[in-house]
Amino acid sequence: MISTVTIPSDDLDGSVAQYTWPQECISMDLCVKCGDSLELNLHQLRFSESLSCARAGHYSFGSERAAYYKLLGDTQIELDRCQKEIERVEILCNTLIASKQLLQANKRLIHSILSPIHKLPLDILGNIFEHVCYGSNYISGFNVPTLKLSRVCHRWRRLVSSMPVLWSSFQFSEKEYARHNLLPLLGLFLRRSHPCPIDFQLDDINGYESSSRSSKNMSSLLLHSDRWRHVEIR
């Protein structure tokens, strides 16, 4: 059983007067299996009385002041209990979230193993890969179809690596290449596409200042100029 505690919304001024203080003990069942629970005696902390005194600008003396110091100590005890329980529950939640992620990953693995696509002969699978990769390899990082297919499993990796046609069509931005060292990725496509003719599109070539990286990119392409079939330079 969890008693409801109302707290002010973010659009209020944060005054303690905005809180609806509980009139009874707050009891929370933390674990149904073991019966673990937490009880907070907030109703015994005389919130309404303290609020009235604070609003009136009241200053306490003598035994009344001592009573408020005791009340302050009791409040800190309950606050520490809350914080300790929050930390325990946060650890539990983080463990559950991590376990959930592991279970979801395992579920994806099992679905992958059971996928009918693994029953396809390599020649049919290769034809599918050609349709997926041709004209779709925009080299701006490693999120390109040919590379993604090669990371699915060892069987697909061997197939992708053995099919030069999957590496023979690509597009890239000279501006992007000048900013990032993606020359090894371009070299990979050029090597693995051999001996197929290559089709490529080079963007952002006009108005962009030359750099050592862009010069190396062009040099790499020129080394394979005998295989150029369809080239677009924009």
Could you tell me if residue 89 is inside a domain?
Answer: yes
Specify whether the CB–CB gap between 220 and 183 falls below 8 A.
Answer: yes
Q: Are residues 129 and 83 in the same domain?
A: no
- Does residue 1 belong to any structural domain of this protein? no
- Choosing from 73, 95, 113, the residue where a domain stops is 113
**What is the reported pLDDT for 68?**
83
**In the predicted structure, residue 5 carries a pLDDT above the cut 50:** no
Regarding whether 123 and 96 lie in a shared domain, the answer is: no
Same domain, yes or no: 226 and 123? yes
Q: Which tens digits make up the pLDDT trace of 8-60?
A: 444 434 566 666 666 666 666 666 566 566 676 666 666 777 777 777 787 88
- Residue 7 is predicted with a pLDDT of 45
Q: What is the pLDDT of residues 56-100, one digit of tens each?
A: 787 888 888 898 888 888 888 888 988 988 898 899 899 989 999
Q: How would residue 201 be classed by pLDDT, with cut points 50, 70 and 90?
A: confident
What confidence score (pLDDT) does residue 196 get? 92
Q: Do residues 49 and 87 both lie within one domain?
A: yes
Q: Say whether both 69 and 145 belong to one domain.
A: no
Boundary residue ending a domain (92, 113, 134): 113
DSSP bridge partners of 20: 6
| 190 in a structural domain | yes
Counting the structural domains of the chain, the total is 2
In this structure, the answer to whether residues 210 and 146 fall within a common structural domain is yes
Under a CB-based contact definition with an 8 Å cutoff, are residues 47 and 23 in contact?
no
User: What confidence tier does 157 reach under pLDDT thresholds 50, 70, 90?
Assistant: very high
Distance CA 175, CA 46 (A): 68
One domain for residues 129 and 226: yes
